[in-house]
Amino acid sequence: MAAPKKGRRQSAPGKPGRSLVFILIALVALTGGMFLSGHTTPRLGIDLAGGTSITLEAKNEPGQKNAINPTNMNTAVDIINNRVNGLGVSEAEVQTQGDKNIIVNIPKGTNEKQAREQVGTTAQLFFRPVITQAPGEPTPQPSDSASTGADKDKGKKDEKDKATDKATSPTSTPTSQGRAVSDALKDAPTPPASDKDKDGKKDPTPSADPATAKLQEKFTKLDCTDKKARVAAGQGVKPSEPTVACGKSPDGKTWDKFVLGPAEVNGKDVGKAQATINQNSGAWVVNMTFTKGGSKKFAKVTSKLSQQQPPQNQFAIVLDGDVVSAPSVNTTLSANAEISGSFDQESAKDLANVLSYGALPLTFHEQSVTTVSPALGGEQLKAGLIAGAIGLALVIIYLVVYYRGLSLIAIASLLVSAALTYAIMTLLGPTIKFALNLPAVCGAIVAIGITADSFIVFFERVRDEVREGRTLRPAVERAWPRARRTILVSDFVSFLAAAVLFVVTVGKVQGFAFTLGLTTLLDVVVVFFFTKPLMTLMARKKFFANGHKWSGLDPKRLGAKPPLRRSRTASAPVDPKEA
Amino acid sequence: MSKLGNLGARLYRGEVGYDFVGKRKIWYAVSILITITAIVGLAVRGLNMGIEFEGGAVFNTPKTSASVAKAEESAEKASGHDAIVQKLGDDKLRIQIAGVDIKKSDQIKKSLAADLDVKAEDIDADLVGPSWGEQIANKAWQGLAIFMVLVVIYLAIAFEWRMAIAALIALIHDITITVGVYALVGFEVTPGTVIGLLTILGYSLYDTVVVFDSLKEQSKDITKQTRQTYSELANKSINGTLVRSINTTVVALLPVAGLLFIGGGVLGAGMLNDISLSLFVGLAAGAYSSIFIATPLVADFKEREPQMKALKKRVLAKRAAAAAKGESAEAPEREADEADDVEDGPDDAAPAVVGPRTQPASRNRGRGRPSGKRR
């Protein structure tokens, strides 16, 4: 017992400077990091910076229990992220929160309504027959447009003739077809049968359908290299109608555009999709399994498609209006299908993911939508900061009045704590995407009280020791271990509360809990590495050590006993005087 | 402040003090009364749940010259539901419409913008589906339950199970009171309120833990003496930390009050106000409960232990003997001094602490000073 306590007693007061230097370095490093990273203010949450925050809750689709799992949630986040940022919105963030919530934060200045439409609906995955395909740039040549128009008509016809499964053929083939048809869709278990091209039955009736003409015009003008145009192309299209769409060409660099027939099979018909390596070719392929109903539909469609000529033997996999892949069909397929092409592991997995989860087994319901104009958000921040400043000022006044000189130490500690909190919050913005929202500001203000509490515990301990008749230096050293324990125990309780809240809750509560937990931790750091060493140093100063009446440690004011050995024999004669 | 300082000193030495533990029955009764009032209030009046829990929309408009009545009419026309319109400072309006679903909000927003002559994009909207608040609340209860279990385990390890139970009771007491105040006064319950309520958890316990820590320290060798019963010691602990408790509570309440009155005053109702209001009520309840409920409860629990019973017997016997000798008048004061000595025993034994007796230098310094002049 004696050895450790002696060691600690001697070492702790012996090098208070070191701790102070340590915390100073930490502070400088954090501030430096702040400026180096170029983030000098904390990232503000949507409620302060202005913007829209949408909270979505996943709901199980009927018949799909346990669909709400981390994999599905992450896929949903990816898909929603693609959609929201496909709007041309930068910095929109999509993240999961809790087990079944997705928060979408869209900064100010974006089309909130459009964003909400994008976010609110389930991802749409369809298989549509390809009618025309062309490179992604607008195609103004009249001849080309004429030919594609014919294709288009055929598509229309195709739709009508679907039941009779009449094969139709293209009137002309776009120049780029060859490039895009590197993917192939085939029956997984059987080797590809080259039973294609029942060509020749030309569709003779170029209809004057205005919708068709419109679609044709759209196709001609479509510029897939333009992001906005791409997004616009797929919007508001019913599955039962033909549409235009863009898709990455297989090399992944350029864009192709398509005229697509009505959706024949949809994402819900896909039972499972997996990226695997084909045993024969050794290449990455994607294996799909269809549901019962899906197999029937798929068989029907593939039998039709396989008799077509390129590019009409292609089957476009369309996710949210974008052509993800457009494999060609060589034979009639049913329950199982393999998509081969120039996949690498990643792209195969991506496609498999899209096929599996593209039409998510989850539907999302908007739980809350908050729109905040920047003006009001800024005002709230201002009010919060004013409140914080006033709260801090009140605390300082109270400390000065009550603790006098000691309050200098408390104030310095509070300032260090505030500086650390600010720097860390700022740095956490780019690193873990921490965003300061209004509840977090509240948390920080409340934390002023928590931090000040620790000083009060320590100071009261020191004063108690002084009351016992000790001089300041031993009083500080004696008070510290006891104060330290109290501070640790009570801060642990605070931290526990914050941690539980952070883990369990969602939304606004979480930001608050995070701030509270962070400041509690910082409180411990500051008390240990700043307040205590500073106190030790100050105890050597005459002002404090001699108990100046403004030091807050004036033994007389504290009603100290005379500095005699405290025993019954000593206290007995003193008592009468005291009374 | 010197008077307060002196008071602190006298409280510390036990020269003055309020018999918190001795009069605990009164305070239990007070607390039970408050709790019953709270529960009755909750049962009869219920909580005024904000739209976050009911589903609905809140629109905050920028500065507008439109009147409250006009805004109300406009909102009700657009939504088909009752609207509550409040005027905030600076001619802003807060329009709250219950039962509106999220989809309808754009339409309402547009019509509000047209009627109130402001830009639609300047209107802030907070739209909440009916199950969102429920989910927040459910999560909050879940968090509360987990926290309680963990904290009881922790306190049982760090202190002892009796203290853990007492702290838990005090915590439940605080939450009940806070919820009761909300029910009785009719403040609106929002997610902000839930946040505030959950924060009270940490705070209420913080205060309790500090008192318990002092009590644990002082009662270390309690069975080795015969001057004080556990209850008396507990009472002394409360009094000894009373100044600290008051300071802590004041310092914690000050920023919250700033948030409540200034932050809230500038903006009117809002998240800042909701959090700080529940914090304010809860903090006050927490300070009260740690002094009047938690520690007396510990004393109650402790005194049921056979060794504490035996101690009480011994103490009382000794006092009776002393009284017989006619020292009764002097007894309390002496007791206080002696208690200090008892306290020093464990201090010296505690690790990391070396009593002044092992420090010849400081003791000599102390001795060299004429004690009379220091007073």
pLDDT in tens, B310-345: 888 888 888 888 877 765 444 444 444 444 444 444
Domain that holds residue B197: 19-47+133-314
Band the pLDDT of B371: cuts 50, 70, 90. Answer: very low
Q: What is the pLDDT of residue A560?
A: 63
Token pair of A412 as six digits: 């310095």
Looking at the domain assignment, is residue B352 inside a domain?
no
B116 near B141, Cβ under 8 Å?
no
Is any Cβ of chain A less than 8 angstroms from the Cβ of B135? Answer: yes
The answer on pLDDT for B126 being more than 60 is yes
Mutation target for A interface from B337, B359, B373: give the one with most A CBs within 10 A.
Answer: B337
Q: In angstroms, rounded to a whole number, what is the distance separating the alpha carbons of residues B20 and A234? A: 74
Is any Cβ of chain A less than 8 angstroms from the Cβ of B189? Answer: no
Q: Which of B263, B282, B314 is the last residue of a domain?
A: B314
Indicate whether B121 and B258 sit together in one domain: no
Q: What is the pLDDT of residue A172?
A: 38
Looking at the domain assignment, is residue B68 inside a domain?
yes
Classify burial at A30, counting beta carbons within 10 Å of its beta carbon; exposed 0-12, middle 13-18, buried 19 or more.
Answer: middle
Chain B residues in contact with A564 (beta carbon < 8 A): 366-367, 371
Q: What is the pLDDT of residue A252?
A: 62
Q: Please, what is the end-to-end C-alpha distance for chain A in angstroms?
A: 39
Q: In angstroms, rounded to a whole number, what is the distance separating the alpha carbons of residues A398 and B248? A: 11
Is any Cβ of chain B less than 8 angstroms from the Cβ of A569? Answer: no
Chain B residues in contact with A387 (beta carbon < 8 A): 255, 258-259, 262-263, 272
Indicate whether B124 and B137 sit together in one domain: no
- The number of beta carbons lying within 10 Å of the beta carbon of residue A99 is 11
* Maximum mean pLDDT: which of A128-137, B77-86, B116-125, B249-258: B249-258
Indicate whether B84 and B220 sit together in one domain: no
Q: Which of B314, B335, B364 is the last residue of a domain?
A: B314
Indicate whether B174 and B308 sit together in one domain: yes
Q: In angstroms, rounded to a whole number, what is the distance separating the alpha carbons of residues B127 and B105? A: 7
* Maximum mean pLDDT: which of A99-103, B30-34, B49-53, B70-74: B30-34
Mutation target for B interface from A5, A102, A369, A556: give the one with most B CBs within 10 A.
Answer: A369
A127: closest CA of chain B, how far (Å)? 30
B331 near A553, Cβ under 8 Å?
no
Element (H, E) at A234: none
Indicate whether B42 and B151 sit together in one domain: yes
Per mean pLDDT, which range of A148-162, A509-523, B51-65, B262-276 is the poorest?
A148-162
Check A563 against B365: CB less than 8 A apart: yes
Length of chain A (residues): 579
Q: In angstroms, rounded to a whole number, what is the distance separating the alpha carbons of residues B170 and B164? A: 10
Q: In angstroms, rounded to a whole number, what is the distance separating the alpha carbons of residues A301 and A315? A: 9
Is any Cβ of chain B less than 8 angstroms from the Cβ of A380? Answer: yes
Looking at the domain assignment, is residue B86 inside a domain?
yes
Q: In angstroms, rounded to a whole number, what is the distance separating the alpha carbons of residues A370 and B125? A: 6
Is any Cβ of chain A less than 8 angstroms from the Cβ of B107? Answer: no
Band the pLDDT of B268: cuts 50, 70, 90. Answer: low
Check B142 against A504: CB less than 8 A apart: yes
Indicate whether B110 and B242 sit together in one domain: no
Token pair of A520 as six digits: 């509690």
Is any Cβ of chain A less than 8 angstroms from the Cβ of B156? Answer: no
Indicate whether B88 and B38 sit together in one domain: no
Strand boundaries in A223-344, DSSP class E:
243-248, 255-260, 265-266, 270-277, 284-290, 315-319, 322-325, 328-329, 336-343
The β-bridge partners of B85 are B95
* pLDDT tens readout for residues A87-103: 555 566 777 777 778 88
Looking at the domain assignment, is residue B227 inside a domain?
yes
Q: What is the pLDDT of residue B339?
A: 43
Q: DSSP letters of A147-178?
A: HHHHHHHHHHHHHHHTTTT---B-S---TTHH
Number of folded domains that form chain B: 2
pLDDT < 50 positions in chain A? 1-12, 140-183, 187-207, 563-579
Q: In angstroms, rounded to a whole number, what is the distance separating the alpha carbons of residues A400 and A421? A: 23
The answer on pLDDT for B201 being more than 80 is no
CB pairs under 8 A between A and B: 337
Looking at the domain assignment, is residue B246 inside a domain?
yes
Indicate whether B195 and B152 sit together in one domain: yes
Indicate whether B113 and B237 sit together in one domain: no
A485: closest CA of chain B, how far (Å)? 8
* Maximum mean pLDDT: which of A248-252, B163-167, B224-228: B163-167
ipTM: 0.73
Q: What is the pLDDT of residue B78?
A: 75
Is any Cβ of chain B less than 8 angstroms from the Cβ of A15? Answer: no
Chain B's closest residue to A490, CA to CA, is: B206
The minimal CB distance from A568 to the residues B8, B250, B341 is found for B341
Indicate whether B216 and B254 sit together in one domain: yes
Per mean pLDDT, which range of A116-120, A168-172, B87-91, B262-266 is the poorest?
A168-172
Chain A's closest residue to B333, CA to CA, is: A575
Is any Cβ of chain B less than 8 angstroms from the Cβ of A476? Answer: no
Indicate whether B183 and B306 sit together in one domain: yes
Chain A residues in contact with B131 (beta carbon < 8 A): 57, 365, 367
The answer on pLDDT for B103 being more than 80 is no
A179: closest CA of chain B, how far (Å)? 44
Name the residue type at position B58. V
B57: closest CA of chain A, how far (Å)? 9
Q: What is the CATH number of the domain that holds B225?
A: 1.20.1640.10
Looking at the domain assignment, is residue B363 inside a domain?
no
* pLDDT tens readout for residues A187-239: 444 333 333 333 433 344 444 566 667 777 777 777 776 666 666 666 556 66
Chain B residues in contact with A514 (beta carbon < 8 A): none
Chain B residues in contact with A371 (beta carbon < 8 A): 123-126
Indicate whether B280 and B180 sit together in one domain: yes
The answer on pLDDT for B112 being more than 60 is yes
Token pair of B146 as six digits: 């987990």
Residue written as tokens 């009364």?
B33
Q: What is the CATH number of the domain that holds B68?
A: 3.30.70
Check B354 against A448: CB less than 8 A apart: no
Q: Which of B94, B128, B162 is the last residue of a domain?
A: B128
CA atoms within 13 A on the CB side of A288: 33
Chain B residues in contact with A513 (beta carbon < 8 A): 198
Distances (CA, A) of A553 to A349, A451, A462, B11, B366: 70, 21, 9, 17, 16
Looking at the domain assignment, is residue B180 inside a domain?
yes
Q: What is the pLDDT of residue A557?
A: 66
B179: closest CA of chain A, how far (Å)? 18
A195 near A188, Cβ under 8 Å?
no
Looking at the domain assignment, is residue B350 inside a domain?
no
Contacts of B138-141 spanning 24+ positions with Cβ under 8 A: B139/A98, B139/A504, B139/A505, B139/A506, B139/A509, B140/A504, B140/A505, B140/A509, B140/B194, B140/B197, B140/B198
Chain-centroid distance, C-alpha A127: 30
A174 near A132, Cβ under 8 Å?
yes
Give this prediction's pTM: 0.66
Token pair of A411 as six digits: 């104030």
Q: DSSP letters of B207-261?
A: HHHHHHHHHHHHTTTGGG-SS--HHHHHHHHHHHTHHHHHHHHHHHHHHHHIIII
